């Protein structure tokens, strides 16, 4: 039996790591600040190629960037080094830092649980030209966020390795640049223990949402691919899979030609890294979950891809309120790079009400399609969207569900629910104060038992990632409309 069909391991992980009011208080966890992990992966024996910072203005409003349609263009679009640098900076780069008594805190382009930034980025590319710097040779690179640079792990064009690992996915086969995202267990488990694997999906989702938005703004096609032979991609990056695993990848750009059919040999590498901590605590449940959701062959990857089942939501029992979008002249025009650059983590929320057009605008833009191999056709979704409305002008307070197909909100239960979300959050009080609270139901749990994609345990990876990609779009829209 394929590892991916080991659904018992998936259910055990979900059941064993879910939050509960009792569990948070009977199984407390204190942080060992002296053993806090280093927030950057560093290869001390490899030279750093600094990336250019002369980013170009996209002139694309953030609310248009997050609502991009899937590109079916076959027009050649090959990123240069400056484009790659811009994509990396606005997805995982350090945008600013702030000094505290305990040390310096780094803020990155994409939000991350606990600001621990356990998602690492790697680049597999062909030769890339540069307008103002030396060109980048084809190879496999690690993105060093601390130095804003690349370290070459392998020299040569290894894109065909990734093409074969994805069972010849067409977007990957014609991509000049492939960005691979990995998850580092300990860096997040220091605080969140076994729940870290859930956070892989959440924190990877915010990065992927930024990558899609910026790539669209720069007019480059991008496609998320999550079905691949895990062992091949891990071997290409030379990952110690007890500590770090490849989690997703995204193709950037399009060229008519495909990579050379014979990729260079994947030879062993001896590349030491700086230890994250003096010691690391192991949580085996995370590795069991990942192993259970891994794909082992091109045949399994090919069979895994296909049509997303459209689980139709029941028609509203009461009259639903359609979205009321504002006039185009009233839609904010701040560019995606400006909105990302001012991102921060919110702990206190404005108590002022928002309007129904503002809410409608956020929902409309955040729920557009996502180009991904587990969402077909474009516009399919794995998650249902629920809202607790506290103070939205034009909407009765209460609990609502969003009907994707009708672009409307159905009132499920009227009333004041500001205190309701608090027991289900790790820190009480953060969710009850705003004018709106949104949640995304992972109906993919039920799909694990269905003969469909996501066939098997790998489905859990995508429900988390998809939910947060939607959530990040919601947050981006909220920040642009200036009430978050």
Query: pTM of the full predicted structure?
Result: 0.89
Burial class (CB in 10 A: 0-12, 13-18, 19+), 433: middle
Q: Which two tokens stand for residue 254?
A: 């399009």
pLDDT for position 434: 56
Q: What gap in Å lies between CA 409 and CA 393, rounded to an integer?
A: 14
Backbone phi and psi for residue 98, each to the nearest 5 degrees, phi listed first: -145, 135
Q: How many C-beta atoms lie closer than 10 Å to residue 127's C-beta? A: 12
pLDDT for position 474: 55
pLDDT for position 465: 47
Q: Which two tokens stand for residue 333?
A: 């025009």
Backbone phi and psi for residue 439, each to the nearest 5 degrees, phi listed first: -140, 155
pLDDT for position 263: 84
Cis amide leading into 85 (omega within 30): no
Superfamily of domain 3-304: NADH Oxidase (3.40.109.10)
How do the domains of the chain map onto residue ranges?
A: 3-304, 321-480
CATH topology of domain 321-480: NADH Oxidase (3.40.109)
Residue by residue, pLDDT tens for the chain (484 residues) are 556 666 788 888 888 888 777 776 777 788 999 999 999 999 999 999 999 999 999 999 999 999 877 777 789 999 999 999 999 999 999 999 888 877 788 899 999 999 999 999 999 999 999 999 999 999 999 999 999 999 999 999 999 999 999 999 999 999 999 999 999 999 999 999 999 999 999 999 999 999 999 999 999 999 999 999 999 999 999 999 999 999 999 999 999 999 988 888 999 999 999 999 999 999 999 999 999 999 999 999 988 887 676 677 888 888 889 999 998 888 989 999 999 998 876 656 667 889 999 999 999 998 888 999 988 888 788 788 999 998 899 899 999 999 988 999 999 999 988 765 554 444 444 445 556 666 555 544 333 434 333 455 555 555 544 444 555 455 555 554 554 4
pLDDT for position 350: 66
pLDDT for position 215: 97
pLDDT for position 309: 67
pLDDT for position 444: 42
In the chain the first and final C-alpha atoms are separated, in Å, by 48
Residue whose tokens read 């969710």: 431
CATH topology match: 3-304 vs 321-480: yes
Query: 223: which residues sit within 8 A by CB, 6+ positions away?
Result: 70, 169, 171, 172, 250, 251, 371, 372, 373
Q: At what angle do helices 196-217 and 185-192 cross, to 10 degrees?
A: 120
């Amino acid at each position: 039996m394929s590892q991916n069909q080991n659904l018992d391991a998936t259910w055990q992980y979900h059941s064993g790591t879910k939050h509960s009011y009792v569990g948070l208080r009977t199984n407390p966890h204190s942080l060992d600040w002296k053993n806090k992990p280093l927030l950057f992966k560093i290869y001390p024996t490899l030279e750093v190629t600094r990336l250019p910072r002369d980013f170009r203005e996209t002139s694309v409003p953030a609310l248009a960037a997050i609502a991009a349609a899937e590109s079916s263009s076959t027009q050649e679009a090959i990123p240069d080094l400056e484009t790659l640098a811009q994509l990396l900076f606005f997805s995982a780069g350090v945008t600013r830092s702030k000094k505290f008594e305990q040390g310096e805190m780094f803020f990155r382009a994409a939000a991350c649980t606990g600001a621990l930034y356990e998602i690492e980025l790697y680049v597999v590319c062909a030769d890339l030209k540069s307008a103002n710097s030396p060109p980048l040779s084809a190879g496999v690179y690690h993105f060093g966020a601390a130095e804003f640079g690349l370290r070459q792990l392998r020299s040569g064009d290894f894109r065909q390795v990734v093409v074969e690992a994805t069972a010849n996915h067409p977007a990957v086969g014609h991509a000049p640049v492939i960005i691979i995202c990995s998850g580092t267990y300990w860096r997040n488990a220091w605080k969140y223990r076994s729940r870290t694997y859930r956070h892989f999906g959440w924190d990877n989702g915010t990065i992927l949402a930024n990558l899609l938005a910026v790539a669209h703004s720069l007019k480059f096609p991008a496609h998320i691919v999550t079905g691949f032979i895990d062992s091949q991609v891990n071997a290409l990056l030379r990952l110690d899979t007890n500590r770090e695993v490849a989690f997703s990848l995204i193709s950037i750009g399009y060229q008519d030609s495909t990579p050379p059919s014979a990729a260079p040999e994947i030879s062993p590498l001896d590349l030491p890294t700086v230890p994250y901590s003096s010691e690391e605590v192991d949580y085996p449940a995370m590795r069991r979950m990942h192993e259970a959701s891994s794909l082992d062959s091109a045949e399994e990857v090919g069979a895994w891809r296909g049509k997303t089942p459209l689980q139709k939501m029941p028609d509203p029992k009461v009259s639903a309120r359609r979205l009321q979008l504002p006039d185009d002249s009233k839609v904010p025009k701040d560019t995606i790079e400006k909105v990302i650059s001012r991102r921060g983590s919110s702990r206190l929320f404005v108590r002022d009400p928002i309007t129904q057009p503002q809410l409608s605008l956020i929902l409309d833009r955040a729920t557009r399609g996502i180009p991904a191999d587990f969402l077909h056709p474009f516009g399919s979704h794995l998650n249902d969207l629920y809202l607790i409305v506290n103070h939205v002008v034009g909407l009765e307070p209460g609990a609502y569900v969003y009907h994707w197909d009708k672009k409307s909100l159905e009132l499920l239960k009227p009333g004041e629910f500001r205190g309701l979300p608090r027991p289900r959050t790790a820190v009480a009080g953060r969710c009850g104060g705003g004018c709106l609270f949104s949640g995304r139901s992972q109906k993919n749990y039920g799909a694990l038992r269905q003969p469909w994609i996501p066939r098997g345990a790998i489905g859990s990876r995508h429900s988390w990632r998809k939910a947060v990609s939607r959530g990040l779009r919601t947050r981006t829209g909220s920040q642009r409309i200036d009430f978050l």
